[in-house]
A and B are shown apart, each in its own frame.
Chain A
Amino acid sequence: MAEEPDLENLPQAVVAPKKRLRVSIVWIIPILAALIAAGIAIQRIRSEGPSITISFKAAQGIEAGKTFIKYKDVRIGLVTAVELSEDYSKVVVKAKIAKHAAGLMVDDAKFWVVEPRITLSGVSGLNTLLSGNYIGFHAGVSDEDRRDFVGLDEPPPITDQRGKQFVLKSNSLGSLGVGAPVYYRRIPVGQVIAYNLNAGGKSVEIVVFVEAPYDNFVTNESRFWSASGIDVTVGADGVDVHTESVTALLAGGLAFATPDFVAAGVHPAAENSEFTLYRNRATAMKQPDPVERRFVLYFNESVRGLSVGAPVTLYGLRVGEVAEVGLSLEPQRLIFRPRVLITFFPDRLVGLMSQRAQATTGKAITEIPEKDRLRTLRRIVEERGLRAQLKTGNYLTGELYVAFEYFPDAPKPKLDWNQEPLELPVVPGGLANLEAKLNSILGKIDNMPLNAIASDVKDAIATLNQTLKDADVLVGRVDAQWVPEGTKTLQELRKAISTADRTLNNADAAFLSKDSPAPQDLRDTLQEVTRAARAIRIFVDYLQRHPDALIRGKTEGKP
């Protein structure tokens, strides 16, 4: 810039009309940007739901910014932070809940971690294999808002289905687990949702959930039984195998039904009703016996194979069961004897009586007063000979049962008719009876004079031998003398026969050949005979009409 510019020669600019703008229009841009940003911010803030914290015992697969909270498979929130609690014992998950789901964050809402679960009864949460674990949510019914929750360790099996819960009491859990199916007529209608020991640790409470349309089938009279696995009952009745379904076979399950014999007063059970969980269907569906009578039996034989619950039969029909099997000591004789306590159900006996009239008779028998009953029973036992007997129900397993039958020849028992429970007389039965008979047979065999018999037999055999020898000689003689004679006789006989044959042939020829004179003569003779016969008949006729002709002779003309 050393030289002086030639200012004069520079071109003159052109004047344009003046435009003056105090504030540049460009300010629209920041205003617009600010408006948009503010709009987005407002939208964000408006859509911002509440932040909640959930504490879990463990937070498998939960990641901040990646794990969602889902309700009915809809994302209602996102985990924003996963931290340890202050005492490091829990995991505190912070999550941002979507605005639309803010109303769900109430007092009794439930959270749990959903992870793939493969159980025998099914595979659940399979989608988490792809999407990762998420936090499941179950809406509560409370009106109180809440922002901090305690997460569940296990997913609640039933989230929002309608139905009812019932509590079953059982001695043991068996092979049941949470999620085990509940069957009604083999249709899965619910599942086990929880189980816990009761306070004393003496029994187990199993909480089941039955879905809505089926929960009405659970009545106050319903019986629940364990359909876990295979129910194999080996009893005096034989082997009974029962299973509900393959799933139940593998994973265990429950079944319920209302017995048919319950007819009156059945109504759907209330929520959380308590039921007893029976061991199997048979026990569950067993008719309750309102009246039961106890009797005691003292056997003189082994009761091995007789178990509690074994049937007590009358002529093979079940009328009771064995209640107790034990030993008793007779103080005088100092011997042990098996003492079997049986329960007799009179109603069952009545039920077995087929005709109506009989049933009423039976009822009358069961309802008679105690004194009369005893007398009747005494008569039945002492006069008719009702006796108990141990019988083998199953030869394979050696199960025994108690059979009552009438033995009219049995000796009259000496019983104390005032004791309680009443003792009933027994007869050795089944194998014991057989054994006794076998023993007596063996005794008899033992008592036989076997040596004498043997020598007798020897003598007899010697005599027989001699006899046979004699016979032999006789046969030889017959052979030597009678046989040649016989042969001769036979030959002559044959000759005679042939002669006779010839004679007959000749006669045949003489009488039957056409040109032989004999037939002709015979025919003539026969004609003569015929004529003679006719003459005689005329004569006889005439004589019948005119018997006087014999004296007067034949009259000519008019007789």
Chain B
Amino acid sequence: MTGVALTAAQAGLVSCEACQLLARPANPEEPGYCRRCGEKLEFRRHASIQITWALIIAAAVCYIPANVLPVLNTTQLGTTEADTILGGVAFLYTSGSWPLALIVLIASVMIPLGKLVALAYLLITVQKGSVKNNHDRTRLYRMVEFIGRWSMLDVFVDTFTVALVQLQPLMSVAPGTGVLFFAAVVVLTMLAAESFDPRLIWDSATPTPVPNG
């Protein structure tokens, strides 16, 4: 779509985010609530950029301890070993199973990081009013949103292992603090992806500035 399409916001209309009902706003400042479903109407998500930024920064902060702190404490015959995610990757790689190492590396290290970078990129481009690569950026956003739900795999495996491997006194596994931060990273990036309004990507392409948060 090369032509400059009219957006609802440009037309002075607002679309309900829940039921997609297109409505006239109560006034330009306060669009009001949806007639049909009662959802609060917004031209653009309220403070989308600010909230997304906050969440991304929080996630980035959490990302560091998630990788530095151990996610699993394995007690084997009296010896406790603390494993971090990267340590696990290194162990898998050195023990020969590099495909597994790659999977863990991608799913647990690169994807959360990629999400953070992607969202930050989207936010920066939106704030700069970039008009390039709108389609790609939208695709990127969709991908981030889609992937979010799969990112809890690590936490999932962790909890399962902890629940299953309790062979006291021979062996036991306890969760490490890192997994909490990892879960926080995943949840925060999901929320960030959720709070980001992809409509902002397109707003820069249109001349009329849109009121947003």
Contact = CB atoms under 8 A, between A and B. Distances in A.
Interface of A: 1, 5, 7, 10-16, 18, 21, 23-24, 26-27, 29-34, 36-37, 40-41, 65-66, 127, 130-132
Contact of B54 (A1, A13, A24, A65): A24
B77 A131 contact: yes
A37 B35 contact: no
Contacts of A11: 23-24, 35
A40 B81 CA distance: 19
A30 B57 contact: yes
Contacts of B88: none
A26 B6 CA distance: 32
Nearest to A29: B58
B79 A30 contact: no
Interface string B49-72: 011001101110110110001000
28 contacts: A1-B6, A5-B13, A11-B23, A13-B23, A13-B31, A13-B33, A14-B33, A15-B27, A15-B30, A18-B30, A21-B47, A23-B50, A24-B50, A24-B54, A26-B47, A26-B50, A27-B54, A30-B54, A30-B58, A31-B58, A32-B58, A33-B61, A36-B62, A37-B61, A66-B81, A130-B77, A131-B78, A132-B79
Contact of A33 (B23, B47, B58, B77): B58
Contacts of A23: 50
Given A34-B58, A131-B77, A29 B188 contact: yes
A33 B24 contact: no
3 closest A-B pairs (Cβ-Cβ)? A13-B32, A13-B26, A30-B58
A10 B65 contact: no
Given A24-B50, A30-B61, A36-B62, 19 more contacts: A5-B13, A7-B13, A7-B24, A10-B13, A11-B35, A13-B26, A13-B32, A13-B41, A15-B27, A24-B47, A24-B213, A26-B50, A29-B58, A33-B61, A33-B62, A33-B188, A34-B57, A66-B81, A131-B78
B31 A10 contact: no
Contacts of A18: 29-30
Given A10-B13, A130-B77, A26 B33 contact: no
Interface string B192-210: 0001000000000000000
A378 to B, nearest CB: 84
B184 interface: yes
A16 B30 contact: yes
A546 B31 CA distance: 205
Given A1-B6, A29-B55, A33-B58, A10 B24 contact: yes
Contacts of A12: 24, 26
A263 to B, nearest CB: 55
A33 B184 contact: yes
Nearest to B25: A13
Given A26-B50, A27-B54, A34 B61 contact: yes
A78 to B, nearest CB: 10
B29 A13 contact: no
A36 B195 CA distance: 23
Nearest to B58: A30
Contacts of B177: 40
Given A24-B47, A41-B65, A130-B78, A16 B6 contact: no
Interface of B: 5-6, 11, 13-14, 22-27, 29-33, 35, 41, 47, 50-51, 54-55, 57-59, 61-62, 64-65, 69, 77-79, 81, 177, 181, 184, 188, 195, 213
A24 B51 contact: yes
A21 B179 CA distance: 34
A37 B65 contact: yes
A24 B49 CA distance: 10
A37 B62 contact: yes
Contacts of A24: 47, 50-51, 54, 213
A21 to B, nearest CB: 7
Nearest to A129: B77
A37 B26 contact: no
B79 A13 contact: no
B1 to A, nearest CB: 10
> Which of B5, B25, B31, B65 lies at the interface centre, i.e. has the most chain A CB atoms within 10 A of its CB?
B65
B12 to A, nearest CB: 8
Contacts of B55: 26, 29-30
Contacts of B51: 24, 26
Contacts of B11: 5, 7
Contacts of A131: 77-79
B54 A29 contact: yes
A16 B26 CA distance: 9
A74 to B, nearest CB: 13
Contact of B65 (A31, A32, A40): A40
A11 B55 CA distance: 35
Contacts of A15: 26-27, 30, 32
A11 B41 CA distance: 13
A26 B56 CA distance: 11
A130 B32 CA distance: 69
Contacts of A37: 61-62, 64-65, 181
A32 B62 CA distance: 10
B26 A14 contact: yes
A131 B31 CA distance: 68
Contacts of B32: 13-16
A246 to B, nearest CB: 33
B147 to A, nearest CB: 21
> Which of A31, A40, A131 lies at the interface centre, i.e. has the most chain B CB atoms within 10 A of its CB?
A40
B187 to A, nearest CB: 10
Nearest to A10: B24
Contacts of B33: 13-14, 16
Contact of B23 (A10, A32, A34, A36): A10
> Which of A7, A18, A24, A65 lies at the interface centre, i.e. has the most chain B CB atoms within 10 A of its CB?
A24
Nearest to A9: B24
Contacts of A26: 47, 50-51, 54-55, 195
Contacts of B79: 66, 131-132
B204 to A, nearest CB: 19
A399 to B, nearest CB: 61
Contacts of A29: 54-55, 58, 188
Contacts of A34: 57-58, 61
